[in-house]
Chain A
Amino acid sequence: MNVTIVDYQSGNISSVINSFTEVAKGKINLEVTSDIKKIKFSDKIVLPGQGSFKSCVDSLNQIKGLVDTLKEFAITNKKPLLGICVGLQMFADIGYEEAETKGLGWISGKVSKIDNQKGKFKLPHIGWNEIEIQKESKIFKDIKNKSHMYFVHSYEFIPEDKSVISATTNYSSKIVCSVERDNLFGTQFHPEKSDKIGLKVIENFLKL
């Protein structure tokens, strides 16, 4: 199996590489690239994302043909793609971090700043929080409800169609912490930094 971690020159993806390498343990061919050809012929794609919504979208758009290739892979061909953090947020139509920015538009919705209730909640939302599973999800196989995952973000994805939400977490309000539609997966938390339980999420994705 060929799995590609999309390296689009935005943010730090070392931890994503390390954790997938650990789980794959040589059994899976792991590529870290932005090479369109390699992406096209992958079986699965991981789309990480760090920094702002705008900077990630801008970086994706910098690489000619990348957005179309990803769309063909995940939306047209419905092959498995996992977006992590801003990688998930970019599924939205629009994001408001830094400046109003058009997203990939794969799942209708917006990405806006978490309501900190006038300073009652510190931002970024950093640390370990419990996930509340909302629907059965392939990537949560054998993962208990209320498991702890590591989060670090100030913006949240608000999808129009709530049926895509596979888990939420409580911080100021119920924040979307993962989505699933067909073979499109996204986590707001960082499975690569969420200890053994996070590695289990990665394993579930790789086993699809």
Chain B
Amino acid sequence: MLKNRIIPCLDVKNGRVVKGINFVELKDAGDPVEQAKIYSDGGADEICFLDITASNENRETIIDIVRKTAKECFVPLTVGGGVRTIQNITDLLLAGADKVSINTAAVKNVDFVEEASKKFGSQCIVVAIDAKKVSKNKWEVFTHGGRNKTGIDVVEFAKKVEEDGAGEILLTSMDKDGTKSGYDIDLLKIITKSTNIPVIASGGVGTLDHLYDGIVKGGASAVLAASIFHYGEYKIKDAKEYLNSKNVSVRL
């Protein structure tokens, strides 16, 4: 049976982890490579880096981090943030990323997802959708880290990227992100029901129960979380044991 995945996400800015794990055993709390290794050793099913570096000049930094991490972590590695061109993808994959997540560029350039999945295969193309609720049962796609409204309906967009060859959708609720009040279950439900590719739930996790809800109520194939793992509130193992105790199948 296919297991539900737990994916810790590390936000990286100018080569340093923002909101990193605060474990005493850490030599350097801001080192993304070291943190990724801790997650991978702890049983993370995948690792996700989100590069939130504002300027383009620092692209090399994330590539270097990916290169180092890929030599130490032997679970899938996804990298997102600033993926705008075929060259960006080539660079990240050559450095050792297994998947890239495309956000703003998927909206701005309507052919990009198709082009990327044809060139590299669907298996490495994740489309990250930032969604904001605009009315009852209606969500809109936002870009640029949730700052820009696009007027595009989330359900329509999710169907389009599936058709264009995206292998997975990373769905973040902008309303829930950072609130620790749980995923937007209605949003998850509508997207997992209207597409046939795996959906990764993101935005809003505060407790282990929220992970359960994302999988069982929302229908997500994987759950992504940042802060509950970063601050050491829970370890990956705690999350897996909890889900397992509630009959959600995970890789233990």
Chain A interface (Cβ < 8 Å from any Cβ of B): 11-12, 14-15, 18-19, 21-22, 50-52, 55, 116, 119, 122-130, 148, 150-154, 170-171, 192-196, 198-199
Known: A18-B71, A195-B40. A126 touches B1 (CB 8 A): no
Residues of B within 8 A of A (CB): 1-5, 40, 45, 70-71, 74-76, 93-98, 120-124, 167-168, 196-198, 221-222, 251
Q: Looking at the complex, which one of A122, A123, A127 makes contact with B3 (CB distance below 8 Å)? A: A127
Chain B interface SS verdict (over half): loop
List chain B residues, Cβ under 8 A from A150. 75-76
Ranked nearest first, the 3 interchain pairs of A and B with the lowest CB-CB distance are A51-B121, A12-B93, A128-B251
Report the minimum CB–CB distance from B36 to chain A (whole Å). 13
Q: How far is the CA of A151 from the CA of B98 in the complex (A)?
A: 12
Contact call A124/B167, Cβ cutoff below 8 A: yes
Please measure, in the bound complex, the distance between the C-alpha atom of A196 and the C-alpha atom of B41, giving whole angstroms.
Answer: 9
The reply to whether A12 and B198 form a contact with Cβ atoms under 8 Å apart is no
| B96 engages A198 (CB within 8 Å) | no
Q: A122-B198, A127-B3 are in contact. Are A154 and B122 (CB under 8 A)?
A: yes
Pairwise interchain contact B167-A126, C-beta atoms closer than 8 A: yes
Contacts of A130 in B (CB 8 A): 1
Seed contacts A15-B98, A50-B124; 18 additional CB < 8 Å A-B pairs: A12-B93, A12-B120, A15-B96, A18-B70, A18-B71, A19-B74, A22-B74, A127-B5, A127-B222, A128-B45, A148-B3, A148-B251, A153-B123, A193-B98, A195-B40, A195-B74, A195-B75, A198-B74
